[in-house]
Amino acid sequence: MDKRISTVGSSTYQRIKRDILFGELEPGAKLKLEGLKTRYEASLSTLRETLNRLASEGFVDAPEQRGFFVKPVSRDDLTEIAELRILLECHALELSIRNGDTEWEGNLVSAHHKLHRMEQRLLDGDLSGKEDWKRYDWEFHLAMIEACNSENLLSLHSTLYDKYLRYQMLVLTFRGEEAAVEHKQMFEAALDRDTEKAKSLLEQHIRNGLTHTLEAMA
Amino acid sequence: MDKRISTVGSSTYQRIKRDILFGELEPGAKLKLEGLKTRYEASLSTLRETLNRLASEGFVDAPEQRGFFVKPVSRDDLTEIAELRILLECHALELSIRNGDTEWEGNLVSAHHKLHRMEQRLLDGDLSGKEDWKRYDWEFHLAMIEACNSENLLSLHSTLYDKYLRYQMLVLTFRGEEAAVEHKQMFEAALDRDTEKAKSLLEQHIRNGLTHTLEAMA
DNA sequence: AACCGCAAGAATATATGATATTTTTACTTA
DNA sequence: TAAGTAAAAATATCATATATTCTTGCGGTT
């Protein structure tokens, strides 16, 4: 279907970003170029390009002449990110519910189904697929807002989602049951085109996740 | 006061970004590395780092293996950006009015004063300072929301502001009188801590600018 | 005239090595 | 302990080289 994107640059970008999101590169850690070179088998130039991209997205700090560092984490930062995600995602959801056609509904049903199956498996104790869970959760949240009709909005949201995800991965404790119920309710409200209900459920969903993560961080 | 930031990298970044915002590099234009090399007197590696940063901020397109292009413009894109700016800036304004202390008020008064003076000069026909006007407008809008207490929000807003500004610069027609009045009203409402009024004035201010710019683009 | 495929030329992506600066670290001295 | 500094480490920048990948123009075909 889609031809594999396989330049050294883009794959290095994905790998480093992934390692930051999943905590394999620890918050605040110094990113020494020599080290990265052997770890990711890429040249200096390629690495610097990658790190510059990550820096402008906010996953890396790059103080002038002092190299690169994994972005540190903090409770305040997490709170800011969650609040922004609420603001943007609720807005996008409203637009999406207003504009979504049958195609959108179909995608949403499918995304929720896949997420739901995965959640059942997780609740049954099969913890083999942390990465998969992340993917399905992302695809569900994306499917909800995908019809918002604003590329700019989707792109900002995607970055925020990743930042928020990083904190979840850091504390590594899931809300399993509750989150699954919330997903289901949101999903149904969206399909019903009940904008206000869907928005308030989504806000509560993110806020619950925030509280949960903040507690785990303490 | 502030020590001059003068690495080749950061100054190249600022110059290219400025040239995109002010239309000196035309929307959609191919950015050939050889050309940039002579124009900005920087090496290939430095240029690629810079272009990667600009690409992830959305000022440059970088399709795989096909080099770099100045981000094209479109009416839809402008509309999306204006709507997002309304969403984020109004939200930030609300927080700022809630949290702002006397220090914030002082800054705001000063920023408005400077902007106002500049607007008077412009209305008197002294069109010498397009760049300056931009700076004062920016400083005013920033001063309004600066107390919102969210670095993440301020950073997103700053990028959006620049994207919006680019369209204004492209059509090069100012709303002079009206904009000046709107600025004054917003300013006063903010100082009065009249959140709802300030927000709705701000929304209208941006929406008017959008309409105006869209008309000029047609 | 429109369409196809292909070779030459242009441009990009990536790597390597070199140099000038700046930042850190470690050590010395007051 | 504080301050100062020389050596070591790391960064920023550049020039060059090579392999790939685009783009373009030319014939040949329908």
Which residues does B113 contact at the CB level (< 8 Å), separation at least 6? none
- Asked if A2 reaches chain B (Cβ–Cβ under 8 Å), the answer is no
The pLDDT tens digits for B74-132 are: 999 999 999 999 999 999 999 999 999 999 999 999 999 999 999 998 888 777 777 78
- Asked if A95 reaches chain B (Cβ–Cβ under 8 Å), the answer is no
Question: Where does residue B127 rank: exposed (0-12), middle (13-18), buried (19+ CB within 10 A)?
Answer: exposed
For residue A3, the model assigns a pLDDT of 38
Q: What is the mean pLDDT of chain B?
A: 94
- pLDDT per residue rounded down to tens, chain A (218 residues): 333 457 999 999 999 999 999 999 999 999 999 999 999 999 999 999 999 999 999 999 999 999 999 999 999 999 999 999 999 999 999 999 999 999 999 999 999 999 999 999 888 877 777 778 889 999 999 999 999 999 999 999 999 999 999 999 998 777 878 999 999 999 999 999 999 999 999 999 999 999 999 999 98
The pLDDT tens digits for A171-185 are: 877 787 899 999 999
Mutate to test the interface with B, among A6, A46, A80 (most CBs of B within 10 A): A80
Q: B63 CA, C5 C1': separation in Å?
A: 25
For residue A115, the model assigns a pLDDT of 96
What percent of chain B has a predicted confidence (pLDDT) above 90? 87
Contact present, B212 and B175 (Cβ < 8 Å) = yes
Strand D near-CB residues (< 7 Å), B 9-68: 9-10, 41-46, 49, 64-66
What are φ and ψ of residue B209, in 5° steps?
A: -60, -40
- Asked if A57 reaches chain B (Cβ–Cβ under 8 Å), the answer is yes
Mean pLDDT of B158-178: 91
- Asked if B65 reaches chain A (Cβ–Cβ under 8 Å), the answer is yes
Contacts of A73 in chain B (CB under 8 A): none
**Nearest residue to D14 via alpha carbon and C1':** B43
For residue B5, the model assigns a pLDDT of 55
What percent of chain B has a predicted confidence (pLDDT) above 70? 98
Q: B75 CA, C2 C1': separation in Å?
A: 35
For residue A5, the model assigns a pLDDT of 56
Strands B30-31 and B68-70: antiparallel
In this complex, the answer to whether residue A101 has its CB under 7 A from any atom of chain D, a nucleic strand, is no
Binary contact (A152, B7; C-beta < 8 A): no
Contact present, A121 and A182 (Cβ < 8 Å) = no
Binary contact (B84, A58; C-beta < 8 A): no
Q: Is the pLDDT of residue B1 over 70?
A: no
Contact present, B153 and B88 (Cβ < 8 Å) = yes
- Work out the angle between the directed axes of helices A176-191 and A130-145 (0-180°, nearest 10): 20
The structure's pTM equals: 0.95
Binary contact (B65, A155; C-beta < 8 A): no
Report which of residues B164 and B131 the model is more confident about. B164
Contacts of A150 in chain B (CB under 8 A): 80, 83-84
The pLDDT tens digits for B2-16 are: 334 579 999 999 999
Contact present, A62 and A47 (Cβ < 8 Å) = no
Using CA coordinates, name the residue in chain A closest to B79.
A150
Q: B50 CA, C25 C1': separation in Å?
A: 31
- Asked if B150 reaches chain A (Cβ–Cβ under 8 Å), the answer is yes
